[in-house]
Amino acid sequence: MSVRIYTILLITVSMIMSCNQPENIIEKELSDNWSFKQTSKENWLPAEVPGCVHTDLLANGEIEDPFYRLNEHDLQWIDKVDWEYKTTFNAGPSIIEKGKIELHFKGLDTYAEVFLNDEKILSADNMFREWTVDCKELLIPGNNTLRILFRSPVQVGLEKHDALDYTFPDPPNDLAEIGQVEGNKRISIFSRKAQYHFGWDWGPRFVTNGVWKPIILRAFDKAIIRNVQVEQMELTDESADLLAHLEIESLSETTVNAICLIDGVESFSRKTELEEGLNKVVLPLEIQDPEKWWPNGLGDQHMYNLTFQIHEENNTISECQERIGLRTIEIVQEPDSAGTSFYFKVNGHPVFMKGANYIPQDAFVTRVTPGKYDYIIQSAVDANMNMLRVWGGGIYEYDIFYDLCDEKGILVWQDFMFACAMYPGDDHFLENVRQEAVDNIKRLRNHPCIALWCGNNECLSAWYNWGWKDAVEERQGKEVADLIWKAYDDNYHKILPLAVKENDQRFYWASSPSARTGIPENWVEGDVHYWGVWWGKEPFSYYRTQVPRFMSEYGFQSFPEMSTINKFTIEEDHDIYSDVMKSHQRSSIGNETIELYMLWDYKKPKDFPMQLYVGQLTQAEGIKIAMEGHRKAMPYCMGSLYWQIDDCWPVASWSSIDYFGKWKAQQYYAVKAFQDILVSPELNDETIDVYVVSDRLDPVEGKLKMDLVQFDGNIHWQKEMNVNIKANTSQLVFSTDKDKLNGNYNENECLLSTKLIIDDKEYSANILYFLPPKDLELPDPNLVYDIQEEGDTYIIQISSDVLAKNIYLSTGDIEGIISDNYYDLLPGEKKTITFKPEGKISAEELKDNMKIISLVDSY
């Protein structure tokens, strides 16, 4: 595993897309001198822009940490009142004299009235849109004031709700309880704002207000490149044919030279007549012997830096940079004997998508640092993932997210921001959505990481499969149901696909999950969200049989580890049914479901910390069955995205990495289950079957080593065989009658170890147990460890005389990264792991804080 760095990185990527403007253009971010106040009050306090009301109140000591204990409950007043932000900024002669001056608001959350020198210049009502306002007339030399009035999204939502003579379907129970409703009114759907702000079954309810992206003052003469789309016309091994579409705004009729440099070398230039206003200029580009961009695991992520310039009489008057990657991507849906395929073909090869769903990393999005983005995406890479799904209840992520996915080879399944609801369909709402879609498609379309656009999350399923259509028809009549459906049809089947078609080349999928446009999910086509495990209380083994063509959601909850719990609780809260822990558990069936599954397989944990540990094992072992099961079922199934990789606050949830970046057991398990070549043994009623799955594009020779090992080290049976590991295939390489192995062993004290050796090295290893852990006769291991310091890392060697199941090393209050955890150590085996502390610590300190346990210590 490569090293994950959890520090604030000086990441330059966010600047990569930006325009390094020549003298003709002045750009100034208005991030200074901001203050804010509640509209009805008088006291102005300093504010951060970008930021939000909640984080500004916190920074000023006006509120306590919103995530601590039950603080969230006391902070619900914040979203019911209006807020005001103001700043002054200086406009010197160099700005004032320019031909055009504008204010560019990259993101206002959400109902914002903007005043420049007391004149209203903008009424914004969509968090996801960008707004550009001409302000030359109003700007004065010297100091100018900018004031933004934010109306309470809750009050606006209520007004919109009450103005209708019909109602939209109620939210699912969990979301209703959390706060998607005011009284019994579902208000979140009326606002084009991150839906999880209103609370989710893993998230707190903080309906924020604020300037969440920069405000830019821009002044220019002559002309400016507004936008570039790099369209890939053809890609072969010999050449890439591209068309660059430039949108250039010119202040007058003029002749310019439009130039493109590829990696600093001028590759095309064209004399172009510009008219006053917006001009479209197309530059044909060619790259010889192109290096392709590959998803993680299949090759490098080669990127080309394209610089676009317009020159007037040899002076550069505008410049823009885009970083592109060359790859082809298709979603193949072809009828076959079972139904219709659904897989991604990248650079001509079918690629199994391994990954997870991604939610915003904080309830307050502006405080997610570049380091945190890097950490999560690197964690995805380290877990051998090649796809993340940006789920529709959050935000269209900041540029840095996509820059990092480009660099690290993580494809993005990009939802439009609609989730688990039916939405309005009036003209204003739809036009607002159309603009939002265009803004975001234009912002993101040059990223090679974007794999597809998807209309919504679970809105179609909700209408047909969660009883919403029937309930509306029954209570409000068919006419209302038709009206609500028309809104759905207009939005996801007309407005959004058209916006994609007109502005991008990529594939559009109307809803996740679905079989086809407007047709709810099924198991033989399209994508599926399978929640039979968890919501349906079906056993984990169902993951092996409930296999669709593409699994875009499945998951199981766990609690975060003790060091995370300690950050938001005090000792008296350390019971999963305490008020504090219950408040940091948003699924109505959460605790009881974790306990139910846990006790199916494990002995009752003896105390609270052990409950957290065993809970994480329950989740990891369950999801392992799914990850491996989906891969074994390739090419029928070609994708496995679990729900969810991250958290937005400290909480019990389906995440594999907690809010503070701690890898849960599941994340460590994903590293192994998603390895490009996997050995996976399976216990069936009569047989033991061993599969080898490879995602590689070339075959390789390997050796399979199987040992039937008694927990005390005694070996009952051994076999070694050569395996020709075929490219991009799942193969059953060994199968035996269960009883034939060796009649002489007890199932409760033996395991089958399977190891795949490639190039004389152990490449993938997996263990099969014959019984659930609670029925195993686990010996009490004598764990021996040794710590060596090597630079800023500690090398820890752990060995055991007998089987040590699920070794868990914790470093208490010492923060840092542990390379592997929660693994089983075979009798006599030695395992080397690394610990990289966040700061400097001595070996003694580490030893004092370090604890190593295994499953026998949990009961």
Query: Shortest Cβ distance from residue 330 to ligand BMA (Å)?
Result: 26
Element (H, E) at 490: helix 478-490
Q: Which is nearer to ligand BMA, 51 or 171 (CB)?
A: 171
Q: Which is nearer to ligand BMA, 357 or 858 (CB)?
A: 357
Residue 158: Cβ within 10 Å count: 17
Query: Shortest Cβ distance from residue 555 to ligand BMA (Å)?
Result: 7
Contact status, residue 63 vs residue 76, Cβ threshold 8 Å: no
Alpha-carbon span 82 to 41, nearest angstrom: 10
Binding part of the chain for ligand BMA, among 197-205, 209-217, 601-609, 632-640 by CB under 6 A, reads 197-205
Query: Shortest Cβ distance from residue 535 to ligand BMA (Å)?
Result: 7
Task: Provide the terminal-to-terminal Cα distance of the chain, rounded to the nearest Å.
Answer: 32
Contact status, residue 512 vs residue 415, Cβ threshold 8 Å: yes
C-alpha 639, offset from chain centre: 16
**Sequential DSSP letters for 394-406:** S-PPPHHHHHHHH
Q: Which is nearer to ligand BMA, 648 or 756 (CB)?
A: 648
Q: Which is nearer to ligand BMA, 170 or 801 (CB)?
A: 170
Query: Shortest Cβ distance from residue 458 to ligand BMA (Å)?
Result: 5
Binding part of the chain for ligand BMA, among 195-203, 262-270, 787-795, 850-858 by CB under 6 A, reads 195-203
Binding test (CB under 6 A) with ligand BMA, winner from 457, 558, 730, 764: 457
Query: Shortest Cβ distance from residue 643 to ligand BMA (Å)?
Result: 5
Q: Could you say whether residue 382 binds ligand BMA (CB under 6 A)?
A: no
Rg of the chain over Cα atoms, rounded to whole angstroms, equals 28
Q: Residue 554, SS3?
A: coil
Q: Which is nearer to ligand BMA, 56 or 362 (CB)?
A: 362
Binding test (CB under 6 A) with ligand BMA, winner from 106, 529, 603, 672: 529
Query: Shortest Cβ distance from residue 737 to ligand BMA (Å)?
Result: 40
Alpha-carbon span 806 to 859, nearest angstrom: 13
Q: Which is nearer to ligand BMA, 323 or 586 (CB)?
A: 586
Contact status, residue 702 vs residue 725, Cβ threshold 8 Å: yes
Q: How many residues interact with ligand BMA (rule CB under 6 A)?
A: 11
Q: Which is nearer to ligand BMA, 301 or 557 (CB)?
A: 557
**Sequential DSSP letters for 231-294:** EEEEE-SSEEEEEEEEEEEESS-EEEEEEEEETTEEEEEEEEEE-SEEEEEEEEEEEESPPPB-
Q: Could you say whether residue 420 binds ligand BMA (CB under 6 A)?
A: yes
Q: Which is nearer to ligand BMA, 316 or 457 (CB)?
A: 457
Q: Could you say whether residue 553 binds ligand BMA (CB under 6 A)?
A: yes
Report the site for ligand BMA in 271-300 (rule: CB under 6 A): none
**What is the bridge-based pairing of β-strands 700-710 and 750-758?**
antiparallel
DSSP 738: G
Write out the two tokens for 590. Answer: 């959460």
- Name the residue with tokens 């999950």: 513
Report the site for ligand BMA in 650-689 (rule: CB under 6 A): 654
Element (H, E) at 370: helix 370-382
Q: Residue 218, SS3?
A: strand
Q: Residue 103, SS3?
A: strand
Alpha-carbon distance values, 719 to 403, 627, 754, 761 (Å) = 47, 26, 10, 17
Contact status, residue 102 vs residue 134, Cβ threshold 8 Å: yes
| Alpha helix stretches (DSSP H) within 20-163 | 53-59, 71-74, 93-96, 153-162
Q: Which is nearer to ligand BMA, 467 or 828 (CB)?
A: 467
Q: Which among 857, 859, 851 has a CA at the least distance from the CA of 798? A: 851
Q: Which is nearer to ligand BMA, 200 or 711 (CB)?
A: 200
Query: Shortest Cβ distance from residue 644 to ligand BMA (Å)?
Result: 7
Q: Which is nearer to ligand BMA, 293 or 642 (CB)?
A: 642
x/- track of binding to ligand BMA for residues 830-849 (CB under 6 A): --------------------
Contact status, residue 344 vs residue 369, Cβ threshold 8 Å: no
Binding part of the chain for ligand BMA, among 65-73, 196-204, 371-379, 394-402 by CB under 6 A, reads 196-204
Contact status, residue 198 vs residue 179, Cβ threshold 8 Å: yes
Half-sphere exposure of 383 (CA within 13 A, CB side): 30
Binding test (CB under 6 A) with ligand BMA, winner from 79, 201, 601, 621: 201
Binding part of the chain for ligand BMA, among 198-206, 343-351, 398-406, 777-785 by CB under 6 A, reads 198-206
Q: Which is nearer to ligand BMA, 410 or 420 (CB)?
A: 420
Q: Which is nearer to ligand BMA, 346 or 651 (CB)?
A: 651
Half-sphere exposure of 690 (CA within 13 A, CB side): 27
Q: What are phi and psi of 844, to 5 degrees?
A: -65, -45
Query: Shortest Cβ distance from residue 465 to ligand BMA (Å)?
Result: 12
Binding test (CB under 6 A) with ligand BMA, winner from 6, 89, 200, 293: 200
Q: Could you say whether residue 406 binds ligand BMA (CB under 6 A)?
A: no
x/- track of binding to ligand BMA for residues 599-638 (CB under 6 A): ----------------------------------------
Q: Could you say whether residue 468 binds ligand BMA (CB under 6 A)?
A: no
Binding part of the chain for ligand BMA, among 200-208, 498-506, 599-607, 753-761 by CB under 6 A, reads 200-208
Which amino acid is present at 90? N
Q: Which is nearer to ligand BMA, 533 or 692 (CB)?
A: 533
Binding test (CB under 6 A) with ligand BMA, winner from 642, 643, 669, 734: 643
DSSP 197: G
Q: Could you say whether residue 197 binds ligand BMA (CB under 6 A)?
A: no
Binding part of the chain for ligand BMA, among 120-128, 147-155, 194-202, 673-681 by CB under 6 A, reads 194-202
Query: Shortest Cβ distance from residue 129 to ligand BMA (Å)?
Result: 24
Report the site for ligand BMA in 161-190 (rule: CB under 6 A): none
DSSP 491: I
- Name the residue with tokens 């496995």: 640
Binding test (CB under 6 A) with ligand BMA, winner from 67, 89, 202, 402: 202
Largest CA distance in the chain: 92
Write out the two tokens for 198. Answer: 């209103």
Binding test (CB under 6 A) with ligand BMA, winner from 109, 322, 399, 458: 458
Alpha-carbon span 188 to 211, nearest angstrom: 19
DSSP 647: -
Q: Which is nearer to ligand BMA, 285 or 419 (CB)?
A: 419
The site for ligand BMA (CB under 6 A) is made up of 200-202, 419-420, 457-458, 529, 553, 643, 654
